[in-house]
Amino acid sequence: MKCPYCGAADTRVVDSRPVDGGLAIRRRRECVQCGRRFTTYERPQLEPLMVKKRSGKREAFDPDKLLRGLLLACEKRPVDPERLKRFAYTFEDQVEGPEISSEEIGRRAMAFLKELDPVAYIRFASVYREFDSVERFIEEIKALEEGE
Ligand SMILES: [Zn+2]
């Protein structure tokens, strides 16, 4: 498996143990090139994390889709893309239960970006929160400037 941090082709498993009462295997992997570690889970694909959209439709969670949104929000901003990758590819492991709403994904992504870069946060929020008016958009920017 490729390293999600530096993209090196080779990573080795440093620890492997059953979790969830033996229904999943948790592996700690270490990159041979950059030495960073990350976790993978091997689970039966009976219940992938499902995303409930505003329309009520459901679809399987796609970390690449989340990553694309984050990268777009951070375009030309001084943000390390590796941090965005880490957030997107570990997202599923932070979710409890088999389903999450698209609003909740947006909310968590916004909280993450708010810490990272205020401009990226506003860009992302303007899409995902669907500002209902220009006034609300401006309020949001002012709140950020005041350090809220
Ligand atoms: Zn690496």
Give Cα 76 to chain centroid, integer Å: 19
CA 88–ligand 1 middle distance (angstroms): 17
Q: How far apart are CA 66 and CA 145, in angstroms?
A: 26
CA 38–ligand 1 middle distance (angstroms): 10
- Domain spans, the chain: 1-44, 47-145
pTM greater than 0.85: no
CA 29–ligand 1 middle distance (angstroms): 10
pLDDT tens, residue order, the chain (148 aa): 888 889 899 999 999 999 878 878 999 999 999 999 999 988 776 667 899 987 889 999 989 888 988 988 898 899 999 999 989 988 988 888 889 998 888 889 999 999 999 999 988 888 766 655 556 666 766 776 676 5
Amino acid at 43: R
Q: How far apart are CA 148 and CA 139, in angstroms?
A: 11
CA 4–ligand 1 middle distance (angstroms): 7
